[in-house]
Amino acid sequence: MADAPRLTLLGTGTPTIQLHRGGASYLVRLGEQQLLFDCGPFAVHRLLEAGSGPTEITSLFLTHLHYDHAADYGHLVLNRWDEGAGQVAELDVYGPEPIEQMSASLFGPDGVWGPDLAARTGNPGSQSVYESRGGELPRLPPQPNVTTVATGDVIEGDGWTVRVAEVIHFQPHLICLAYRLDVNGTSIVFGGDTRPTPALTELAQGADVLIHMCQYVTGEETDPRLTDTCSGHIEAAETARDANVDTLILTHITPQVEHPRVRERVILEAGQVSGCRVIFGEDLLEVPLDAKGEQS
């Protein structure tokens, strides 16, 4: 069973490296289950700052395999496996093609971390640490349960459901997905990186929360190579309006968007266009999922 969800924005940044914005990552705590959506750079450290940790994550959903959304995937799995010492179930991982190839390339015997894993499973020093943490030999390498998902798929969890839709970003090089989580009467949509996409509007219909990229200030980015693959604040707001969501969270924030005065204009205009609550995403922000405590 799942408790009422708690949503924390772990990373709200872009590929631009910044200390105050890690790569994309969002945590949903459901009591004993914890779901992570995207795992960009710094996500593992943000997990600790949010009062959680890798061994507490039960499922990971990757929207796409750009590094600003997936760079900490290896770190999460390796740390979770190391500190879990055989005491936690394998991580369930969902993502678009080629997530299985990426996983094998990271954790397989001939993969990037093959020598590390051979050492940690076979070296007496590592075996000592493993046993001191409660592990029983022989020590096996991590084997996350990796599932390739695509548009239209439905993932049934313990008390929750995740629906999948493909959004338009960097195809054909990368497939990008959006996910809708429904749990205990609350719906949260993770839009991935996308330009305006009817499939996202459909997926997000009536959702409580839509987390949507805001790569630039609409009108100030005119290169069609970018505007054909990403969204600005007005596009995000129009999708939120057309999907009738309750709250729009702007994320994937660039320095241009958060510049003082620009930021305030973005929030104001996004609210005017969407007609819904607008939250400007910040790392480690715990998002209120009901109206309690709000002042009218």
Contacts with Zn ion by CB under 5 A lie at 68, 193
Give the whole-angstrom CA distance, residue 79 versus residue 85: 10
Q: DSSP secondary structure string, 26-47?
A: EEEEETTEEEEE---TTHHHHH
Q: Smallest distance, Å, CB 67 to Zn ion? A: 9
CB of 238 vs Zn ion, minimal distance in Å: 20
Torsion 109-115-119-122 (CA) sign: positive
CB atoms within 10 A of CB 123: 13
Measured from the CB atom, the residue of 99 and 289 that comes closer to Zn ion is 99
List residues bridging with 141 in a β-sheet: none
Nearer residue to Zn ion within complex by CB, 68 or 166: 68
The CB-of-241 to Zn ion minimum distance in angstroms stands at 23
Q: Which is nearer to Zn ion, 237 or 253 (CB)?
A: 253
- Minimum CB separation from Zn ion for residue 153, in Å? 22
If phi > 0 it is left, if psi is from -120 to 50 it is alpha, else beta; for residue 109 that is: alpha
Residue 15 C-beta: closest distance to Zn ion, Å: 7
Task: Kindly tell me which of 68 and 283 has the beta carbon lying closer to Zn ion.
Answer: 68
DSSP state at residue 133: T
Q: How far is the CB of 69 from Zn ion (least distance, A)?
A: 5
Measured between alpha carbons, how far is 54 from 92 in angstroms, rounded to an integer? 13
Closer Cβ to Zn ion, 38 or 208, answer by number: 38
Residues 149, 158: contact at Cβ < 8 Å?
Answer: no
**Do 33 and 2 touch, CB atoms closer than 8 A?**
yes
Give yes or no for a contact between 266 and 214, defined as CB atoms under 8 angstroms apart.
Answer: yes
Query: Quick one: 12 or 218, whose CB is closer to Zn ion?
Result: 12
Report whether 47 contacts 60 (CB < 8 A). no
